[in-house]
Amino acid sequence: MEIVIIGAVVLLLLVIASCVKIVPQAQAYVVERLGGYQATWNVGIHFKYPFIDKVARKVILKEQVVDFAPQPVITKDNVTMKIDTVVFFQITDPKLFAYGVERPIMAIENLTATTLRNIIGDLELDQTLTSREIINTKMRVSLDVATDPWGIKVNRVELKNIIPPAAIQDAMEKQMKAERERREAILRAEGEKTSAILVAEGKKQSSILEAEAEKAAAILRAEAKKEATIREAEGQAQAILAVQQANADGIRFLNESNPGNAVIQLKSLEAFAKAADGKATKIIIPSEIQGLAGLAKSLVEVGKEDPK
C-alpha cells in the first residue's frame, strides 16, 4: 500500500513538473489545447493544463541565415548561368509561422528561385554582372511581401555567386586580359610622356640656373673691379695727402725754427735742382743762389778729401 502511495506521489510530482515551462530568451512557444491554437508563450515561466495542453512548436525569434544551392537562370540575351543566394530572415509572428505554410524554409527556397528567374529574365548578361545591388533589393522586396502571411520578415537577400558558362568565362578572361594590356600600354605611354616632360623641364631649369650663375659671377667681377679701382684711387689720394702733409710739416717746421738766409738760399737751390730734372732747356738762377751753389760744391769736395 505504501508503495502505491509513493508511486502516486511521484507520478503527481512528475505531472506537475511537466506542466511548468520556462521559455528562454529569443524563443517563443506555440501552445495548443485539445489540438487547437491556445496561446503564444514568450520569455518567462508558464503553466499548462496537464494532458489537454501541449507545446506544439518552439520558434526561434533570432535572425536566421539560409544559404540556398545554385539555381539555373536564363538572361534576356539567352545566356544560361547559375546563381546561389543567401537569405537573411526573422520570424515575427510565431502563430503564422506555425500554421501559415508547411515547411517554410523550403517554401522560401522555391520562392527565391522563381523570383530570381523573373528578375534575371529581364536583364542581359552584362547587366546581371554589374547590377547585384539592384537584384538584391528587388528580391528582398518581393520575398518580404510574399512571406508576410507566414509570419516571416526577409531582412536581406544577397547573390553569393554568379557562375556563367565556361565559354563565357573564357571570353570574359580574354576581354579582361586585353583591357589590362590596353591600360598597361596607356600607363607606359603616359609614363614616358611624363619622363620626357620632366627631362625637358630639368634642362630648362638647368639653363636658367646657369644663366643666373653667369650673371651673378659677372656682377661679382664688376663689383670686385670697381672695389679695386676705388681702393687704388683711395691709396693714391692718401699718398698725395701724405706728401702734401709732409711738405706742410716741413714748411711749418722751418717757420717755427726761424731759419736764416743761408737756409732759405739752400732750399731755393734744392728747388732749382728739382726744376733742373725736368725738360726745361734754360734755367735762370739768381746771383745769390749761384754763390751759394759754389760754396756748397766746395764743401762737398772737402768732404771727399777728408779720410774716414
- Do residues 69 and 155 share a domain? yes
* 24 belongs to a structural domain: yes
Q: What is the CATH number of the domain that holds 102?
A: 3.30.479.30
Residues 121 and 68 in one domain: yes
Q: What are phi and psi of 54, to 5 degrees?
A: -150, 155
The SS3 call for residue 177 is helix
Domain total in the chain: 4
71 and 156 fall within a common domain:
yes
Asked if residues 117 and 71 have their Cβ atoms less than 8 Å apart, the reply is yes
- Cell for 2? 505504501
Domain assignment of residue 172, yes or no: no
Q: Same structural domain for residues 89 and 36?
A: no
- Position 117 in a domain: yes
CA angle 241, 244, 245 (to 5 degrees): 80
- Cα–Cα distance between 115 and 136 in angstroms, integer? 11
* pLDDT score at 236: 85
Residue span of the structural domain in which 33 resides: 2-60
pLDDT of residue 307: 47
| In a shared domain, residues 39 and 74 | no
Q: Which three cell numbers stand for residue 64?
A: 536566421
Q: Which of 102, 109, 23 is nearest to 59 (CA)?
A: 23
Among the candidates 16, 45, 60, a domain finishes at 60
- Residue 273's pLDDT is 56
Domain boundary (133, 164, 195) is at 164
Site of grid cell 726745361: 280
Give, in order, the Cα–Cα distances in Å from 129 to each of 135, 139, 163: 10, 16, 10
- Note whether 145 and 220 are same-domain residues: no
Question: What pTM value is reported for the model?
Answer: 0.55
In a domain, 234, yes or no: yes
Per-block mean pLDDT, blocks of 10 residues, the chain (308 long): 77 80 92 92 90 91 92 89 93 93 91 92 87 91 93 93 83 83 90 90 88 88 88 84 76 65 59 54 53 48 46
Classify 33 as helix, strand or coil: strand
186 part of a folded domain: yes
Q: Report yes or no on 171 lying in a domain.
A: no
Q: Tell whether 308 is covered by a domain.
A: no
* Whole-number Å distance between alpha carbons of 229 and 227: 5
Query: How many Cα atoms are found within 13 Å in the side-chain-facing hemisphere of 39?
Result: 7
- Please spell the DSSP secondary structure of 38-106, one letter per residue: EEEE-SEEEE--TTTEEEEEEEE-S-EEEEPPPEEEE-TTS-EEEEEEEEEEEES-HHHHHHS-SSHHH
pLDDT at 300: 42
